[in-house]
Structure 1
């Protein structure tokens, strides 16, 4: 009798946990910043599955296509793994409940009750095993309903997930400086404003601010999106975010562009960085990326001189030193952590094309 009661209790816990995790992952959006968010089964499975993949991928050469293909495959594969986990927990959980209740005709073993649970969950209804008591008859309707709900939620989630992915990836094709090499923050600003007009830069960052808002909203609602990435390592969205953040930081030094759309982009980017690093101890990464005073001044001086040589009117150098330090303190520790954890490439490349700029007359 005690064994039967234990089976009912354990089975109920399995079903409740599976349904709660399913709803938390696919429906609710308010728990992604809670203190216990990493204790959900889906988060635990995702974290350990990615650790396993990461240990394999880290052994593959950085520039080999197989490396990025494996990383890009993980997102869709994770969704299948989680669906299997939710279904298994519910089927086995209900099987234990039916075995504990002992109100099923046609089987006496735990395995037989799990088989009956699976048939009921997928609403197949072979009829070789049937409930005889009131509670199992009512319960099987609940299980069948949960089977339909689970399937419906996953089907409804897929279009939303891939729409958010497309919204994130599509604008990256326009992140182009017109060259045949990697895009740099300076080359991007120079391409956006060839005549050193700060208003052109402001207009560009207005579009990218909307992009950052979409990412913050979609990745807050669906943290799984961080594992979805392009198969092309030259078009990684996190590398693009880092590139745009560095470009926006430089725009803050340009008179007429500072405190405009680049400022608002930086605020939206900070939302993304906070979201992606939630619950992570960034102190080791803060120490790892902190430059010496001499390194910082030399880096800012080089940046300052290049912007000035292009024709931009800049804020005083002392102001630039402080501004660059503040912005980099905001994002560099998180970016270093994400680069390491998600194995992000170092460079972002423009679309490869034979079309090049017409040389000046």
Structure 2
């Protein structure tokens, strides 16, 4: 029976879309072995969009175009979901057109399905048999879909705001681009050395929140920060570098609280990057601990870091093993960080003694600024 094939095809479209919505909106973890619209759009549209943005000379226009990708993917996903659902219900109604008087063509069936889905109910056609169930299901799907998708959009916006608050604070301290040395120097020049442990604990909680939200809603990875030179991945890398510097270079006896918090944050931050790299199937490049790696810290760079910290009144240890320890700590996260940054076209500073470490002047006293947030 030809109508049965058409009915089955329409039902399959409805089931696939509802499954995709369930996995995207309601299931709080990624699923790799399912047909997912969001990842397909991200892999197909994302590189082309970022390539187009990269050709623009104006930094503001370039960042604006990059930032528009995530909202575009979100709106496109919703529109495609709705269109395929209506198309599926229309195929089901058209397959059993003998249940309706007068029997509709496919165009009329599409109108009836859209009318039922949007709960307008603008139809004078007599419906009987299983097609009544199809019309009722279309209306229920429309009502539930609007509620679920509205909640999903609000959840994405809330997670995005929570992520960006800390990024803005790092940008204020370090200026752009954010680096670990600049963060430590900025805090030191504000005479906030005793607050460094609070900074690492705050970012430890931030990293756990980011992993949960971005694992539940992977589309958040496509949302950009406001500033091109201070993206959220760059800020995370700067705080990870700051923690590595504290553990490798600082006098642990005199900075015991900061060292303990830095160690805990390194574990969480490294886990976050590893999980995100696995979700988006990106692989790191050279190992920062290997000799000859372009990301390996050299002795002269370590001396520059020590000088910058000493000028900011940090207690700096002078042990010869600091260089190997620093490279070993950075090797745990740097590959995944660089791979994610390359995948999403985010500028990060790979060198531990990067430029800008000494540019940030002391923060204004009495401004009420708290580097821990």
Give the TM-score of the pair, scaled to structure 2. Answer: 0.83
Q: Out of 297, 312, 317, which is 1:314 matched to?
A: 317
Per-residue deviation, 1:172: 2.3
Question: Is 1:25 the equivalent of 2:28?
Answer: no
Match of residue 340 from structure 1: 342
Task: Pick which of 308-317 and 102-111 moved more.
Answer: 308-317
Where in structure 1 are there 5+ consecutive unaligned residues? none
Match in the other structure for 2:272: 272
Secondary structure, counterpart of 1:241 in structure 2: helix
Aligned partner (choices 93, 116, 132) of residue 128 of structure 2: 132
1:207 aligns with 2:218: no
Partner Cα separation in structure 1 for residue 343 and residue 201 of structure 2: 30
Question: RMSD of the alignment, in Å?
Answer: 3.1
Do 1:185 and 1:244's aligned partners in 2 also have CA atoms closer than 8 Å?
Answer: yes
Aligned residues: 349
Residue 67 of structure 2 contacts residue 225 of structure 2 at CA under 8 Å; is this kept in 1?
Answer: yes
For 1:203 and 1:281, locate their aligned partners in 2 and report how far apart those are by CA, in whole Å: 33
Q: What residue in structure 1 maps to residue 59 of structure 2?
A: 64
Check conservation: 1:99, 1:110, Cα contact below 8 A.
Answer: yes
The C-alpha deviation readout for 1:212-239, integer Å capped at 9, x for no partner, is 1211111111111111123332431111
Describe the SS at the equivalent of 1:286: coil
CA distance in 1, matches of 2:279, 2:87: 32
Q: How does 1:1-361 map to 2 (within 5 A)?
A: 1=1, 3-30=2-29, 32=30, 34-36=31-33, 39-61=35-57, 64-102=59-97, 103-133=99-129, 135-175=130-170, 182-194=177-189, 199-253=194-248, 254=250, 255=252, 256-257=255-256, 259-279=259-279, 282-283=282-283, 285-286=285-286, 292=292, 296-298=297-299, 299-304=301-306, 306-307=308-309, 310-314=313-317, 316-318=319-321, 320-346=322-348, 357=364
Q: Is the 8 A contact 2:190 2:362 kept in 1?
A: no
SS in 2 for 1:54: helix
Give the TM-score of the pair, scaled to structure 1.
0.85
- Aligned-partner Cα distance in 1 for 2:308–2:290: 23
Range with bigger deviation, 196-205 or 150-159: 196-205
